[in-house]
Amino acid sequence: MEYKNTWELYDEEQLKAVDTFAQEYMEFLDHGKTERECIDQIVNLIEEKGYRELDAVIAAGDKLSAGDKVYSVWMNKSIVMFQIGKDKMADGINILGAHIDSPRLDIKQNPLYEDGGFAYLDTHYYGGVKKYQWVTIPLAIHGVVVKKDGTTVEINVGEKEDDPVFFVSDLLIHLAQEQLEKKANKVIEGEALDIIVGNKPLLIKKTDDKEEKEEKPAEKDAVKKGILDILQKSYDFEEEDFISAELEVVPAGKAREAGFDRSMILSYGQDDRVCAFTSLKAMLETGQTNRTACCILVDKEEIGSVGATGMQSRFFENAVAEVMNLTGEYSELNVRRCLARSCMLSSDVSSAFDPAYASSFDKKNVAYLGSGMVFNKFTGARGKSGSNDANAEYLGHIRAIFEKAGVNFQTAELGRVDLGGSGTIAYILALYGMNVIDCGVAVLNMHAPWEATSKIDVYETKRGYVAFLENADL
């Protein structure tokens, strides 16, 4: 069985649409380097399209019926959207789910120190990273600092042309004999991933009259003091405020087209914002359906879907209950029936075949860049452990939908048996007894600071999501 290359299936008009869609997607990536930034963009976009905030609908005492659109944001980091269908929700809804957190370096709560004339911010990496990939590349800081009075300072430094950037140093090759003998997971240790944020001492005006105009360095930790002075003047926060900050260090710079043929996209954070963006766009494109259309974009997938904003949180179930209350269907039994009878696409990236590491994959059961949307019947590791293994009946149903809609897809596993593995949010939704399958977009060098996707896969996957929302009913 061989899969088709999607580029060969498209006509001129479709190819134009692929490029337009890729531009929109790259802009989404550029303005969404953290969960919070993604949520801001998504809320702006969906409110323009008529979505109302769930709490506002409740407060207004309004009801929901077919065609109504409603959303709920949880702690500024996760969102769920509903477009109410004609059928009762208790008969099941169609759900697209993806995550909007990505691997990065998080700044610690007591991070600022000085050593050897440099000011540093200490970090703790988030998610699975090859630490050696994060040294000597330009880095940006995005996030929030919440002060004691409840005000929030938004930080975004390193993206504009004239912004400064930050970096992690590496040992020069001339002295790296010992370092290069180390295993790759020890070459750069987690505690060595502190970012350099300054090198200039704070200068203090002398106080005695004669030398009034001269300046001298503030003695101890003068470079650190210089940075604190800038943070105070430019961002209005002080050292102690790092305690209640969420600052994420990410690769600086914009998403770029890749290849002479501009067929690919190279960018930070495509796992899993590529599935989040395509799911969102599919939601907005889908017209009135029989079954309610739903899209969940969550935080914390990269660290096990934990926490109040991760998929294991009850915020989604609670939102379903609230929405059913507004459609006049609420009962505990109806909520359970709705969740059990739903269909879900758990959308996450899948590894693309990499010819440079061919032996890491099973060539017959791996995704190829450009060959369309990817279905992973199962994920997991060591004999499918930790996986949701989708039901054959559900796969049969999905195949029929995609064939009818003319959506090009491939089936894949992450890599060679027993080489490694991964998980997604699929198993959590499957706890309700609903039909769930893993699917998404193929990515080359997944979890690296710069990940690659195919423009045509991004577009084809969005088409697949629309076909699913309009037709899934099992």
Nearer to Mn ion, 371 or 376 (CB): 376
Measured CA to CA, the distance from residue 276 to residue 297 in angstroms comes to 6
Minimum CB–partner distance for residue 16 and Mn ion (Å): 30
Question: Regarding beta strands 380-381 and 421-422, do their DSSP bridges make them parallel or antiparallel, or are they unpaired?
Answer: antiparallel
Whether residue 100 contacts residue 298, with contact meaning beta carbons closer than 8 Å, is answered with: yes
Nearer to Mn ion, 35 or 348 (CB): 348
Token code pair at residue 400 = 């029929």
Minimum CB–partner distance for residue 273 and Mn ion (Å): 9
Nearer to Mn ion, 276 or 323 (CB): 276
Contact residues: Mn ion, CB under 5 A: 271-272, 348
Measured CA to CA, the distance from residue 383 to residue 402 in angstroms comes to 29
Minimum CB–partner distance for residue 308 and Mn ion (Å): 19
Question: Regarding beta strands 152-157 and 139-146, do their DSSP bridges make them parallel or antiparallel, or are they unpaired?
Answer: antiparallel
Measured CA to CA, the distance from residue 88 to residue 334 in angstroms comes to 10
DSSP class of residue 282?
H
Nearer to Mn ion, 176 or 306 (CB): 306
Nearer to Mn ion, 341 or 447 (CB): 447
Minimum CB–partner distance for residue 349 and Mn ion (Å): 5
DSSP letter string, 26-87: HHHHHT-SSHHHHHHHHHHHHHHTT-EEHHHHHHTT----TT-EEEEEETTTEEEEEE--SS
Whether residue 445 contacts residue 72, with contact meaning beta carbons closer than 8 Å, is answered with: no
Minimum CB–partner distance for residue 102 and Mn ion (Å): 7
Nearer to Mn ion, 16 or 124 (CB): 124
CB nearest Mn ion: which residue? 272
Kind and range of the H or E element at 205? strand 203-205
Measured CA to CA, the distance from residue 325 to residue 45 in angstroms comes to 26
Minimum CB–partner distance for residue 304 and Mn ion (Å): 11
Nearer to Mn ion, 348 or 470 (CB): 348
Minimum CB–partner distance for residue 267 and Mn ion (Å): 14
